[in-house]
A and B are shown apart, each in its own frame.
Chain A
Amino acid sequence: MNFDFTEDQHEIKRTARELLAKRSGVEQIREAAESEAYDESLFTELRELGWTGIAIDEQYGGAGLGVVELMILCEELGYSLAASPFLANALGGLMIEHAGSDEQRAKWLPGIASGEATATVAFSSGGTAEVVPDADGAAVIVLIDGEEATLIAREDAKVEPLTTIDPTRRYARVSASGGEPLPGDVAGALARAEVALSAEMVGIAQRTQEMAIEYAKERKQFDTPIGAFQAISHRCAQMLFDTEGARSATYFGGWAADADESQLAFASSIAKAAASEAALSVTASSIQVHGGIGFTWEADVHWFFKRAQLDVAMLGGTGKQRARVTQLTAASLATAGGA
């Protein structure tokens, strides 16, 4: 029993943290958000570092590492709120790698791994997905409708760019008819995608927690740093509670994806539910700790709050995860009792 990362994994985390601090600081986030355009050179750099292919099999040009390594990167990308199609591409890649046919993998994974022909994924109903991350720039789109997933080439889909409350990421409405079904384990692939998405939310929660604490140490009212007031400090303690809980669950999900598939459905549900709650509560609470300044455009905490809102809605809401957790535990208790 060991919850620690390996030395290599720690190194990935350190490298990502350092690079993104330089390449996706608050200035760069603001610039990307206000111009509603990505800094193309950031994604190019991530591609050239091989990040886009981190969890993709070597035969398709990836690094052949696991969901744990991808999760580490996603957490750091959330922490830095990097404006890039990285997450959508990674989630789409997980779907095709784990639910696609050999032919689909051979066709799409090399472009996803190199980042030159990216993917995305979203829930859809009757061939339409209302809000799809980074669909406009993608080469391939995976639509999940119930237990089925369909793969659609970009040129075969109608893609209508949208504005959302989150200007740090590009979204679009996608509609398509036909497409190729993904014949493999859609649920398993989706569970991996949920873990990667959860990791981004853990990073968002961690960063906004740190922003709140930093502010609470500096900001003085009544001649006192506001962090010395329990109304504020207990709110900050709650942020730690929510963030660390979400992190425990997400790391469990990453581990299950790589090491114990029998626990993956349970683990990924817990991860998505906990990370969603943490991302919502911590970003909102961070705005509150910042007081009036937190409500201004300049405070930067709102970019994280907005991204969190869209992330939580991605790949199904918390209610679905909770219902699945109950269903899975009731089934496993019934089996244990019957045995």
Chain B
Amino acid sequence: MDLTFNESESAFRDELRAWIKANHPGEEPAGEDEGYAFRRDWQRQLYEAGWAAVHWPTEFGGRDATLVEAAIFNEELARARAPFPANVLGLLLAGPTLMIWGDEEQKQRYLDPIMSGDEIWCQGFSEPEAGSDLASLKSKAVRDGDDWLITGQKVWTSGAQYSKWCMFVARTDFDAPKHKGLTYFILDMEQEGVEIRPLRQITGDPEFNELFLENARVPNANVLGGEGNGWTVALTTLMNERAGLAFGLQVGMTVALDELTEQLAAAGKLDDPMIADELGALRIKCEILRLTAYRGLTATMKYGQPGPEGSLTKWMWSQGNQELMQFATKALGPQALTGSSTWGRAMLRSRGNSIEGGTTEVLKNIIAERVLGLPRKK
């Protein structure tokens, strides 16, 4: 066991830390569009300095960073309170999926603009009738000469309004069993058959969207991983989602907990034994999440692919973050719930944590069946 960074990991961290310090873009501006444009500029800056996709292989413009270095990248960004790049779904999900399933032409065409942020990607998986039971999705793609025509509805599509491309899963064979009849498409968002409607969430913000497709056209060359292979390709995307996002989220929670601790200390509330006790319990959860995430990386590096254990850290994070936000609003008093505080909004946003990216209930099923080997659920 060595829970320190080795020489090359330390060198990576120091170089990155110095670069962020010299290039920090400052505070993100208010307003959704303004914030997005700001994060897109920031990604361009990262790209030009070779930091946009450290976990990608060098042949695609990355740094071939190890899993630990990729974790360091997320930790350092969060620690410096620098924003995450705008095209986060492209970098973490679409890119790695294209590298595994894309043909040469697709890799050449799509990867570089993902990294530069010139082309933003969104994810068209969930549907109103297909949430946890994703494989039952109904969006329909039919052949029209060399193209496919897609009709259907998607939901929870974050960043759709900024996106050029969508990772889109549709049903191409209605006679096949539900997991077998799906195909993964690279869908051009800039066309008439695609309508985007903002979806207002409980915070009041439209962070997500609904997509309505009416004969949206996709050339057959934009099928990823072959017709009928959509479920397998989608699983690649989902595995990367849980493995890749965990570190950024974990550090986000640490940063929020640090801020809360500082605010409570400034308010003289740490002498209250009830507050000290609950704050200690939260810190322990936060630290356990960090440690368990690193343990997961060690296992992934030893055995290859990220395993279903990623479900455990996602669950740890969502539960911990919700408890943190709820505790913050309680401990700081009712002013934390007013418009002048960011905590109330953060607390509302945290309710989504145990739903997005796999509900806690689904994660428990995955752990029970695939880690513990219990029989399939009734």
Contact = CB atoms under 8 A, between A and B. Distances in A.
Interface of A: 1-6, 9, 68, 213, 216-217, 224-225, 227-230, 232-234, 236-238, 240-241, 244-246, 248-249, 251-252, 254-256, 259-260, 266, 269-270, 273-274, 319, 321-327, 329-330, 333-334, 337
A2 B276 contact: no
Given A1-B9, A1-B68, A227-B375, A273 B261 contact: no
A246 B284 CA distance: 10
Contacts of B3: 1-3, 252, 255-256, 259-260
B368 A322 contact: no
A68 B2 CA distance: 11
Contact of B262 (A6, A230, A266, A337): A337
Contacts of B287: 249, 252, 266, 270
Contacts of B42: none
Contact of B368 (A5, A233, A249): A233
Interface residues of B, number: 51
A252 B291 contact: yes
A249 B284 contact: yes
B288 interface: yes
Contact of B261 (A240, A244, A269, A329): A329
Contact of A259 (B2, B9, B363, B367): B2
A333 B262 contact: yes
B371 interface: yes
A329 B260 CA distance: 12
B18 interface: no
Nearest to A225: B375
B340 interface: no
B109 interface: no
B84 interface: no
A13 B279 CA distance: 35
A241 B1 contact: no
Contacts of B265: 330, 333-334
Given A240-B371, A248-B288, A249-B287, 18 more contacts: A1-B68, A2-B2, A6-B1, A228-B375, A229-B377, A233-B369, A234-B365, A241-B367, A248-B292, A249-B288, A252-B291, A266-B287, A270-B287, A326-B277, A326-B280, A326-B283, A333-B262, A334-B265
Contacts of B281: 273, 322
B21 interface: no
Contacts of B378: 224, 228-230
A228 B1 contact: no
Nearest to B69: A1
Contacts of B279: 322, 326
> Across chains A and B, which 5 residue pairs bring their CB atoms closest together, nearest first?
A322-B280, A233-B368, A248-B291, A227-B374, A3-B298
Contacts of A225: 374-375
Contact of A237 (B6, B278, B297, B364): B364
A237 B367 contact: yes
A273 to B, nearest CB: 5
B373 interface: yes
A128 to B, nearest CB: 26
B361 A2 contact: no
Interface in B332-378: 361, 363-365, 367-369, 371-378
Given A249-B287, A252-B291, A2 B1 contact: yes
Contact of A1 (B4, B261, B270, B367): B4
B5 interface: yes
Nearest to A224: B378
B47 interface: no
Interface in B261-320: 261-262, 265, 270, 273, 276-281, 283-285, 287-288, 291-292, 294-295, 297-299, 302, 312, 315-316
A177 B5 CA distance: 48
Contacts of B297: 1, 3
A244 B283 contact: no
A274 B286 CA distance: 12
Contacts of B6: 1
A324 B283 CA distance: 11
Contacts of A323: 273, 276-277, 280
Nearest to A209: B372
22 contacts: A2-B298, A3-B1, A3-B294, A3-B295, A3-B299, A224-B378, A225-B375, A232-B374, A233-B364, A240-B312, A240-B372, A244-B295, A245-B285, A246-B288, A248-B288, A249-B284, A251-B1, A251-B295, A252-B291, A273-B280, A326-B283, A337-B262
Q: Kindly name the residue among B68, B315, B371, B374 whose own CB sees the greatest number of chain A CB atoms within 10 A.
A: B374
B280 A216 contact: no
Contact of B295 (A9, A228, A246, A248): A248
A270 to B, nearest CB: 5
A249 B5 CA distance: 18
Contacts of A337: 262
B258 interface: yes
Contacts of A252: 3, 287, 291
A68 B288 contact: no
A26 to B, nearest CB: 21
B295 A333 contact: no
A331 to B, nearest CB: 10
B60 to A, nearest CB: 25
Contact of B364 (A4, A68, A234): A234
Nearest to B369: A233
Contacts of B375: 217, 224-225, 227-228
Nearest to A266: B287
Contact of A233 (B4, B278, B365): B365
B302 A4 contact: yes
Given A68-B1, A324-B280, A237 B377 contact: no
Contacts of B369: 233
A333 B254 CA distance: 12
Contacts of A233: 364-365, 368-369, 372, 374, 377
A255 B33 CA distance: 46
B283 A325 contact: yes
A273 B9 CA distance: 31
A330 B316 contact: no
